[in-house]
Structure formats: structure tokens, C-alpha cells
Amino acid sequence: MSVTRSNKPPILVFGSVNIDVGARVNHFPVPGETLHALDAGLGLGGKGANQAVAAARQGADVRFVGRTGDDPLADFAAAALRRHGVAPDDLYRSAGDLTGLAMICTDSGGENTIVVVGGANMAIDGTDIARLVPLLAPGAIVLMQCEIPMDTLRAAARAVAQAGGRLILDPAPVPADGLDAELFALAELMTPNETETERLTGLRPHDPESARHAAEALHGLGLRRAIVKLGARGVLYSDESGHGFVPPFAVAPIDSTAAGDCFNGGLAVALSAGMDLAAATRYAAACGALATTRRGASEAAPTRPEIERLLATQPG
């Protein structure tokens, strides 16, 4: 099924923006080891910004509400968002805060480790929700993540529910004390990977059957629709009508940094276009798979023609 433009409300993103400092290495350093990077660079990141760009790259109308510091990195972030088709008009410059930073290390196999400095993202509060509320409309898709304060996230989720919006929550990173129980009821859908699923349910999924059991556990916590991402092993989706599994796409991965965020951006685009959960999950999985074939975070987001070409060449 192709994604087409419509007169529906824009896809809304409420969340984090970072500047990514990336380094590529042959292997990850062990404690006490110093390595020379093969190369390095700066790029736009943060799960909110990445998901906003991923949706915009597919032609979606996107509004992104978040915060940067009032520093040169904020200028870098605003320029990068514009370049990728996302207007930075709804980003607030937070005086006295540092723009968020992420230090990303990627090995020769495409795996990564990430250390995040929240900065201005952790100052997001009720005043930012007040800027989100006028954008909300019944049926609007809203993407959120866990790189902002949990009290703010919970209040924003309530605002989405009150407006009749559809919240897709990426529970990453899962807070140290777990995810607030109310969020399972407020979200229409969550998209945890293996590690996040284990943190939420105590079950570590590794194949379709174990992912199905984990999805059932998520439903038991109050979640209506669940997508359990297994990385290179595929994706399971589940709701009240049943469950299904999307096998992995055959691609040549070099960097998994953006895979999860591009998945969610693609999922928002597909659901906004009216796809059912099965078709939307497959579309999103293709989006995430393509993101692993290029380096970077926001820069790795594929376009709609690229996604549809992969779907056509590897039919489900």
C-alpha cells in the first residue's frame, strides 16, 4: 500500500533534540582502553528530532515541539531541521541550558553505544505542553519518547488523550524505576525493542513466539496495541484483533543508530495514511531497515520512494 498525502492534521512530535557527536571504531573500547576513531562527525539527533525528520523525509507535514539551549549548537540544530524539511518554529531556546548532546560510538559491525547528556531536553515542562496543545486535533498522530522528564511526558500524554489524539510512545530509554503505569493506558501504541521490552515486562524476546508472550504481557499492563522490535530478527505486532510477524528485510547494515527512530517515523506516516497495523508495521520495518544501510541519525532517514521500492522488491 502506498502512502499518499491527505488533509489530515500534521504528525506531531513532542520530544528531544540533540547534537550527535559520532565516532566510528573497529571495536568498542574496554575499560581503561583508549582508541583512535576511524572517523568522526557532528549531526542532528535526539529521538524527537530523528522521528520528526524520518516522517518529514517521507513527505509528511510535521510539527516538532521541543527545546534547545541558547547556544551555537541550537543554531546547528535549527539549520539541520530546516534542511530535512522540519520547521524549527516550535523549538524553544532555553536560556542557561546546554543543547542536548549524544556521544555515539559505532563499531565495524554496525552496532552502537550511546551516552546522552539531556541538557535543555530535561527542562521541558508545562510551558512546552501549552505550545503543543493548540496543535492537537482529534485523530492526530503524536510521537513521544522518554528523553524528557517523566512528569512532563505523562502530562503531555494526558493532553493528547483529552484532545482525541493517537499517541505512539517509544519507551526509550526506559526510566530506572520503570514506566508510569498510566502511560500504558494513555498510549495507543508502544514500540519497545528487546531490551526495553525486558525492562517493561521481565521477558526478553528473541523470536516470534517469545515476542508474542511479551506483547501479551504489555497488553496485561493496559496497552492496547504493541509492537515488539527484534532488530535483525524482525518485528511482532499485536492488538485486540490478533498478532502477526514481519520477517527482517535483507539489507546490508552498517549503522543501527537511526533504525528505531526511523521505524517510528515510518509507523506514524503509515498509520496517518490509514494503513492497518499489519501494513503499517511492515512499512515501518522497511523504513528502519533502510536506515541501517547509511551512517548517522537524522541523516540516515530514507525517503518514501526508497521505502516503497524495498517493499516491492521484498514482498511480504
pLDDT in tens, 132-151: 999 999 999 999 999 999 99
Residue 190 is part of which domain span?
A: 11-16+47-66+85-90+122-313
CA dihedral 114, 115, 120, 124 (to 10 degrees): 70
Asked, for residue 78, whether it belongs to a domain, the answer is no
Q: Known catalytic residue: 261? A: yes
199 is in an annotated binding site: no
Name the nearest CA neighbour of 235 among 255, 215, 220: 215
234 is in an annotated binding site: yes
49 is in an annotated binding site: yes
> Which position among 90, 170, 239, 261 bears the catalytic label?
261
pLDDT exceeds 90 at position 1: no
Asked, for residue 210, whether it belongs to a domain, the answer is yes
pLDDT value of residue 257: 82
Asked, for residue 112, whether it belongs to a domain, the answer is no
Average pLDDT over residues 23-45: 94
Torsions phi, psi for 276 (to 5 deg): -75, 175
Beta bridge partners of 189: 168, 225
pLDDT exceeds 60 at position 306: yes
Asked, for residue 57, whether it belongs to a domain, the answer is yes
Beta bridge partners of 167: 142
How buried is 43 (Cβ within 10 angstroms: 0-12 exposed, 13-18 middle, 19+ buried)? buried
Do 121 and 46 touch, CB atoms closer than 8 A? yes
Do 173 and 192 touch, CB atoms closer than 8 A? no
195-212: per-residue pLDDT in tens? 999 999 999 999 999 999
296 is in an annotated binding site: yes
- The string of DSSP codes covering 19-70 is EEEEEE-SSPPPTT-----SEEEEEEE-HHHHHHHHHHTTT--EEEEEEEES
Asked, for residue 97, whether it belongs to a domain, the answer is no
More confident residue, 254 or 171: 171
128 is in an annotated binding site: no
Local confidence band at 258 (pLDDT 50, 70, 90 cut-offs): confident
Asked, for residue 309, whether it belongs to a domain, the answer is yes
pLDDT exceeds 60 at position 2: no
Q: How far is CA 133 from CA 127, 137, 159, 160, 175, in A?
A: 10, 9, 7, 8, 25
Instruction: Provide the percentage of residues in the chain whose pLDDT is more than 90.
Output: 87
Name the nearest CA neighbour of 21 among 1, 41, 2, 50: 41
216 is in an annotated binding site: no
Torsions phi, psi for 305 (to 5 deg): -60, -35
Asked, for residue 3, whether it belongs to a domain, the answer is no
Average pLDDT over residues 237-247: 97
pLDDT value of residue 7: 62
Local confidence band at 256 (pLDDT 50, 70, 90 cut-offs): confident
Average pLDDT over residues 272-281: 97
- CATH classification of the domain holding 192: 3.40.1190.20
**Number of domains the chain contains:** 1
pLDDT exceeds 60 at position 12: yes
Q: How far is CA 214 from CA 105, 184, 206, 219, 226, in A?
A: 30, 14, 10, 9, 9
Residue 292 C-alpha cell reads as 541501517
Asked, for residue 157, whether it belongs to a domain, the answer is yes
